[in-house]
A and B are shown apart, each in its own frame.
Chain A
């Protein structure tokens, strides 16, 4: 990891555990000695709207917001939200996408179509795309609520942070949220991303 600031954006839909995931990520980065800032907007998170969380780390971070087109790692909890955030991604950047579709009401009611060319669009902009069915992985781990931690497992392969830091933060932060399922979901995500 270079001395410059690394930009991670987590995107998805209210209720997917995005804010908890970004909390865990920030704790891990802090424990690894980085300056960390994160920015997100509350208020609509429980109303089915789009949720974004920007996490930036490095020797010294100023802006809590990532400049458009400078996201290094895009962690998308939902396919369409990955596409929505593509203009924020640095050309050649990395996208980790959960192959889950959550339909906005206009789509659910058949008024508008869900985009079908998602994989292609992601490949056109990103240098690396890792797709995973995190919901299936979470269910395999024992809880549908572990989608977020499974995706952190994938992300962990792209950050030079010690395994132990992840485990200790997950143990501390998610003690009361089904720890075993979360640790398992993390391991599945990490294995799915393959060695790097």
Chain B
């Protein structure tokens, strides 16, 4: 009997990389890609690292490929924006040993700031892109991608979407096969991309793309599944599963290599059927290329561009033209349950102190983005990793003289290391008086608690030097660097009020770890003295899940603290003006 296992797409990619003999893997955490590296590190024979950001991760993996090791880089879709600089020129240099870049798109934005369609990157970089439809393919395609990378001397993009990354299906594991040994060979014309060399390499890229087009027509990565109705569907990835679910009788051209496309195969397939559909999430990436071949096709007039597909939307698309918008109305009238900062989260104390300043607050990507939601509502912008610092500088420079509001950037520790440092250098260099607050909770919390250069540990769990962010801020020229305890409301407010009036760039760093990583720091739960509670409601404005409303005997809505949830952070006790909140027995 074959041993099969139920694996997520991410576990399967890690397994595939292992079986393909990967020796170096690098990435930056980002939903839905994070678990790939967390799984790879479990296998022997591989060096794997959390890099400070995706650009470094890809450069490390590319260097490893130059150096003769099969290498993997992993990131979410917006991470590839950061890594796009090395990607576009890596296409010119080629690789030596295989280089596979896993790009995880997030249609529907389950945990992302946009839903860009990264299939366009394959076309932009002129590199092949594979897209698996389930975990078995995630494993198999990873192995195939390494082989393709070496055969065509090109980086290969493996594109996934949330449903494939985080969906689980049956996988048949195989054995690891060590890749053929290679080493770095000096080759200036190939690896040194100065204009004269790059001009010659561009020709190599175009010639390679032509060969890849031929491969697309011949490879078994693309397959035709016979149907018994004169209706054909071109599809790939998760969309393929929805098509098979709702229209099992259709002819299907299932693409595994989604760039470049198999032109002859598409023409042949189109000729076989009376009606041709393209079913794909987000942009009409396949559809426009099919139309460019002069083939009439039904696509985005039937299936939404917004959000992710599901069997219902696909069935509706086959049934007729689309009427409604893609964003479904709320299913029921029950109260929403949005994500919230955890009880005892140090960000809550920080925001409570910050909101008293009535500052313009530029935000960033992480758990602290939740500070923009009710009831904290203490964040005014959120764009991309590291944007808070540059945004703050810009807003400060745009402020009319009568706008005296301080401008404060809020950024997490991992995000600061990822891409906040250069913004801070700008603030100092051009002397823009903004306050950069680094909310240092010693982990990459939103993605589940990954280590980073300022956390003191590596992906492998080894101790590492902890990047001294205060020292770094001083080194780039910030004179006022203040460290504060976000649970201490008076101290935090005092530090912030000082920092925003220096007339120079300043830095405030909080010092409490994420409550999820250090449970030993939790203190006994607090309790409300209902006789003292005046039902003023101030503590509810903290948005702490541990604080619940109770209707008192006098009919007033007073506060009560859920002892199982409370971590004893004490912020609500400091906020209470009536001394109604204190430790048990206090």
Interface residues of A (CB under 8 A from B): 13-14, 26-27, 30, 35-44, 46-50, 61-69, 80-81, 83-88, 103-110, 112-115
Cβ contacts A to B, 9 pairs, < 8 Å: A42-B35, A44-B110, A63-B311, A64-B168, A65-B163, A65-B242, A68-B310, A83-B332, A83-B334
Closest-CB distance, B54 to chain A (whole angstroms): 17
Complex contacts, B335 vs chain A, CB 8 Å: 80, 104, 106-107, 112-115
Cα distance, A3 to B253, chains bound together (Å): 27
Closest-CB distance, B581 to chain A (whole angstroms): 15
Which residues B324-344 have CB closer than 8 A to chain A? Answer: 331-342
Residue of A nearest to B108 (CB): A41
Q: Is the interface of B mostly helix, strand, loop or mixed?
A: loop
Known pairs A64-B168, A84-B332 / 12 extra A-B pairs, C-beta < 8 Å: A13-B337, A36-B169, A37-B134, A40-B167, A42-B35, A43-B110, A47-B340, A50-B337, A68-B312, A83-B334, A87-B331, A115-B334
Closest-CB distance, B533 to chain A (whole angstroms): 13
Residues 530-559 of chain B, each 1 if its beta carbon lies under 8 Å from chain A, else 0: 000000010010011101110000000100
Closest-CB distance, B384 to chain A (whole angstroms): 17
Taking a contact as CB atoms closer than 8 A, the residue among A64, A103, A110 that contacts B241 in the complex is A64
Taking the complex as formed, is B111 at the interface, i.e. its CB lies under 8 A from any CB of chain A? Answer: yes
Taking the complex as formed, is B446 at the interface, i.e. its CB lies under 8 A from any CB of chain A? Answer: yes
**Cβ-defined contact, B549 with A108, below 8 A:** yes
Interface residues of B (CB under 8 A from A): 4, 6, 31-32, 34-35, 110-111, 134, 162-163, 166-170, 238, 241-242, 244-246, 310-312, 315, 331-342, 367, 370, 374-375, 446-448, 516, 537, 540, 543-545, 547-549, 557
**Cβ-defined contact, A67 with B167, below 8 A:** no
Complex contacts, B162 vs chain A, CB 8 Å: 41
Taking a contact as CB atoms closer than 8 A, the residue among A40, A87, A109 that contacts B540 in the complex is A109
From A36, A62, A85, A115, residue with most partner B Cβ within 10 Å: A62
Residue of B nearest to A104 (CB): B337
Closest-CB distance, B447 to chain A (whole angstroms): 7
Residue of B nearest to A112 (CB): B335
Cα distance, A85 to B332, chains bound together (Å): 8
Closest-CB distance, B421 to chain A (whole angstroms): 26
Residue of A nearest to B551 (CB): A110
Cα distance, A104 to B373, chains bound together (Å): 14
Cα distance, A26 to B4, chains bound together (Å): 13
Complex contacts, A68 vs chain B, CB 8 Å: 310, 312
Closest-CB distance, A39 to chain B (whole angstroms): 4
Residue of B nearest to A42 (CB): B166
Closest-CB distance, B43 to chain A (whole angstroms): 21
Complex contacts, A113 vs chain B, CB 8 Å: 335
Residue of A nearest to B315 (CB): A67
Cα distance, A174 to B336, chains bound together (Å): 32
Query: Quick one: given A39-B163, A41-B166, A108-B545, are A87 and B332 in contact (CB under 8 Å)?
Result: yes
**Cβ-defined contact, B111 with A38, below 8 A:** no
Closest-CB distance, A124 to chain B (whole angstroms): 12
**Cβ-defined contact, B167 with A48, below 8 A:** no
Query: Quick one: given A44-B111, A112-B335, A115-B334, are A64 and B163 in contact (CB under 8 Å)?
Result: yes
Complex contacts, B310 vs chain A, CB 8 Å: 63, 65, 67-68
**Cβ-defined contact, B167 with A30, below 8 A:** no
Closest-CB distance, B386 to chain A (whole angstroms): 20
Residue of B nearest to A88 (CB): B331
**Cβ-defined contact, B32 with A42, below 8 A:** yes
Closest-CB distance, A15 to chain B (whole angstroms): 9
